[in-house]
Amino acid sequence: MDINNNNNNNNNIDDDVASRLADITQQAVILDERLAALCQSQSLNLPALLASTDAATRPLIAKLASHTKDMHSVIADTALMADRISRKVRLLDRDQQQVRSVLALIDDLSEIRDSAAEVQTAMAAQDWELAAIHIQRFLKHDIQRIQSVYNKYKVLTVIYLYACLIHQPSLSINTQKQLDQNESEIDPFLSEAQNQISKADLYCPPGSPDPIETLSTAKANLIQVICTEFDKAVESGDEAAIVRFFKLFAVVGERAAGLDRFANVLAGVVKRLGQDYMRAVSEADRVPTLYADLMTRLFEAVASLIDKQEMIVERHYGPGRLLRVIVRLQKEVDVQTSIVLDSFEDKRMISRKIADINALEIAASQNKPPPPTAALLDPREVDALVNEIAIMSQRTRLFSRFLEVRSNPTIKTDNPYRPSELDNIALNKQSTLTRRIKEIMSNFSTLQEFFLKKSIEKALKLDLHEPGSLTSSSVDDVFYITKTSVTRTFLTSDPLTICSVLESVGRILETEYVAVFLKRLGGGNMGTLETKEGKVGVLVILNNLDTSCDYITKLVKEINGEIDRSFGQTSPAAELERLRTCLGSLTDYGSSFKRSLMVWVENIFNQMIKPKIRPTMADVCKDVKYVLSDEEYTEADSQDVFFKRFVREFGKIIALFKSTYSPRNHNQNVSYFIDAILAEWERHMFANVKFNALGALRFDKDLRSVTSYLTSLTTWSIRDKFVRLNNASALMNVEGLGEVAEVMGVSAGWRLSVADAKRVLH
C-alpha cells in the first residue's frame, strides 16, 4: 500500500515539473520575441526598461552593464589601434606602388635612350628589320606619359638632395646642422645641386638629341623607306620583297596602311586575271558556258589568293585583319565581274530574247501570228542560256559564302576589342555582283518557262505509241524535261527563283500538256471509237494521264528531299515554309489531274462498255432457269452454262481494256464494270427469275463462280459489291419463313430492304 502511494507521489511531482518547464519555456519564447522587437525598435529607452525589471533581476543587469562597458573600452582601443595600423599599411602600399612606377619609368627611359642610339645605327646600315624592331619597342611605351613626366620633373628633389650630399664630401656634420638650423641656406644649395645634376643628366645629356624626338623622326623616315621599297617591289614583281616590307608595316604600327597596300597588290592581280580572261572570250565564243566558266575561274583565283595570304596576314597583323583585304578584293571582283556580265548580256542578247518571248506570249493570248523574229527564237539557245545563268548564280552564291566564312564573322562590329584597322570595314551584302546577278535571275523564270513550254510542245508533236506499250513517248519525254528544268533551278541556290519556277511548272503542265490530252479526248479521237486503233488511242491517252500523275507524285517527293538537302541546314524556317508552300501548288495540280483522269475513265466506260452490259447480260441469262428438277439440276451442274457464257461474253467486252489500260485505270474501270454488271444481274433476277430449292442452290453456285471470276480481274478488294446478291442467295436457300428473320438478323452486312426481301421470296 505504501509503495503505491510513493509511486503516485512521484508521478505527481513529474507532472508538476513538466508543467513548470512548459510555462518557463513559453515565457522564454515571449521574452525572446519582446527582446527582438525592442532591438528592432528605433527608440530603445534602456534605463526605463531596466527600471521596469523586478528587484531580483536589477543586480544582475547592473553587473552585466559594468562588464559590457569594460569590454567596449577594450574593443574601442583595439579598433583605434587597428585603424592606425591599416592606415600606415595603406600608405606603405601606396608608396611601394609609386616606387615601382618610378622604377618602371626609369627602365622605360633607359630603354628609349638605348633604342634611340641603336635605331640610328640600324638606319645607317639599312637594316630595316632591326630598325623596325626598335621602333616597335618605342611604340610599346606610353610616350605621352613619359614626355610629360620628363618635361615636368627633370629629377626629383629627393634625388637632387641626395646627389648634393654625395658630391659635397667636405660638408661637415656641423655644416649640416647649420643647414638644418637655417633653412634659408638650403635653397641656394639645392639650386647648385640642380645645376650639377642637369649637366650630368643620364637620360638626355646636354647637347645630345631628345631620344623621343630621335625615335619619332626615325619612325617617319623608316615608314617612308618601307613605302618606297614596297612600291619598288610591286613594280618589279618581286614577291619576296613585297612580303618582306608588308610585314614591316605591321612592326612599325602602320597596319592599316600595310593592309591597304597589300590588298591593292592582290586586287591588281585579280584585275590582270580578269583582263586575261576577257581576252580569251573571242577565241572561245561558242562554248555554251563560257561566261559562267570565266566567273568561276575568277572566283577560284580570288579564293586561292585569300587562302595563300591568309596565314601571312593573320600571323603578322593579328586575327580578323584579313577582312580589310577581303573587302578590297570584293570591290575588285565587282568591277571585273561587271565587265564579264556586260559582255554576257550583250553577246547572249538576253534583252532581245526576253522581248521575243513576251511578244510570243502576247500574240498567243490574242490568237495572232507571232512576230517573224520572235518565231525564230530557238529553244536550244534558251536552254543553253538558262543553264549558264544557273551556273553563274550557284558559283556567285558559293563565292559570297566563302567570303563570309573567311571574313572571320566572330569579330562583331559592336565588339569593344575590335581592331581599329577594321573600323567602318565590313563586307558589302548588296555588292554590285549580287545586284547584277539578281537582275539576271529576274529573267531566269521567263526563259525557263519558255524552254519548258516549247519542249513540251515538241514532245507532243513527236508523240509516238509503240505496240505493247501502255503509254506514248511524250510522257517520259515531258517529265524528263520537267525534272531537268527543276533540278537546274535548284542549281541556282536562289529560293525566290525556285519558288517562281515551282509555281509555274504545275501551271505549264496543265495548260500545255494535260489540256492537250483532254482536248484529244473531247475532240477528234472520240469519233474513232468504233475502230480498235481509235479505242487504243483513247485508252493510251488515259494511261498517259495516269502515269503523269504518278510522275508528279514522284517529282514532288524528290523536290521535297532536295529542299531539305539544299536549304534545311542553312535557311530560316520561314524560307523553308515558303519553298514547301510553292511545292504544294504542284501537288494541287497533281490532284487536279487525277480528278480529271477519273472523270474521263468513267466517261469512257459509259460510252464504250456500259451500253453493252444489258444486252450481254440478257444473252448470258437466256434459257437459264432456276426452277429445276433433280435431273435438270444435275445437267446444269455439269454443263455450267451460265458461268461459261458469262466469262465468254463479258470477257470479250473487257479484253481490250484489260490489255491496254494501266493498272490503276484498269482497276477503276473494272470497278465500274462490276457495279454495272451486278446492278443489271440484280434487276434481271428480281424481274424475271423464279426459284425453287434446287434452283436456289444452282444460283448460289453461279454467284460464287462469278464472284471468283470478277475478283480475279482486279487487285482491288471488291467482295463488298456482291453483298446484295449474297443476301438474296441466302434468302433463297432458307427452308422456311421462320428462318428469314434469323438470316436477316445475324448478318451484319445486310443490304436488302424489306421490299427487296419480299421480291426475292415471292
DSSP 210: P
pLDDT tens, position by position, 660-694: 999 999 999 999 999 999 999 888 888 777 888 88
Q: For residue 416, give every residue at least 6 positions away whose Cβ sits within 8 Å of its Cβ, in sequence order, or none.
A: none
pLDDT band at 366, cuts 50/70/90? confident
Identify the weakest region by mean pLDDT among 125-134, 196-205, 217-226.
Answer: 196-205
- Return the CATH class of domain 610-761: mainly alpha
Average pLDDT, the chain: 80
Please report which helix (H) or strand (E) contains residue 312, including its range: helix 290-317
Rg of the Cα trace of the chain?
Answer: 53
Indicate whether 157 pLDDT > 50. no
Q: What is the pLDDT of residue 438?
A: 92
pLDDT tens, position by position, 564-622: 888 887 778 888 889 999 999 999 999 999 999 999 999 999 999 999 999 999 898 88
pLDDT tens, position by position, 9-23: 556 666 777 788 888
Whole-angstrom distance, CA of residue 310 vs CA of residue 322: 7
Indicate whether 151 pLDDT > 70. no
Whole-angstrom distance, CA of residue 545 vs CA of residue 479: 12
Indicate whether 182 pLDDT > 60. no
By the 8 A CB rule, do 397 and 567 touch? Answer: no
**Residue 286 backbone phi and psi in degrees, to 5:** -90, 0
Candidates 672, 569, 702; CA nearest to 611 is: 672
**Residue 410 backbone phi and psi in degrees, to 5:** -70, -20
Percent of the chain clearing pLDDT 90 (strictly above): 32
Percent of the chain clearing pLDDT 70 (strictly above): 77
By the 8 A CB rule, do 470 and 543 touch? Answer: yes
What's the 3-state SS for 535-558? HHHHHHHHHHHHHHHHHHHHHHHH
Identify the weakest region by mean pLDDT among 34-43, 88-97, 181-190, 589-598.
Answer: 181-190
pLDDT band at 412, cuts 50/70/90? low
pLDDT tens, position by position, 68-125: 878 888 888 888 888 888 888 888 888 778 777 667 666 666 667 766 767 777 777 7
Query: Can you say whether residue 237 is alpha, beta or left, with left for phi > 0 and alpha for psi between -120 and 50 degrees?
Result: left
Q: What is the pLDDT of residue 249?
A: 85
pLDDT band at 723, cuts 50/70/90? confident
Grid cell listed for 431? 555588292
Mean pLDDT of 447-476: 92
Query: Can you say whether residue 468 is alpha, beta or left, with left for phi > 0 and alpha for psi between -120 and 50 degrees?
Result: left
- Provide the strand spans (E) within 589-649: none
Q: What is the pLDDT of residue 748?
A: 52
Torsion of CA 377, 378, 384, 389, to 10 degrees: 20
Identify the weakest region by mean pLDDT among 315-319, 485-489, 595-599.
Answer: 315-319
By the 8 A CB rule, do 593 and 552 touch? Answer: yes
Q: What is the pLDDT of residue 162?
A: 43
pLDDT tens, position by position, 532-557: 888 898 999 999 999 999 999 999 99
Mean pLDDT of 518-526: 72
Mean pLDDT of 517-537: 76
Q: What is the pLDDT of residue 339?
A: 93
Whole-angstrom distance, CA of residue 56 vs CA of residue 76: 32
Indicate whether 392 pLDDT > 50. yes
Q: Identify which has the larger pLDDT, 175 or 702.
A: 702
Please report which helix (H) or strand (E) contains residue 647, including its range: helix 641-660
Q: What is the pLDDT of residue 181?
A: 47
Within a 10 A sphere around the Cβ of 638, how many other Cβ atoms? 8
pLDDT band at 174, cuts 50/70/90? very low
Global pTM value: 0.71
By the 8 A CB rule, do 686 and 760 touch? Answer: yes
Where do the structural domains in the chain lie, given as residue ranges? 1-38, 254-441, 468-608, 610-761
Indicate whether 415 pLDDT > 70. no
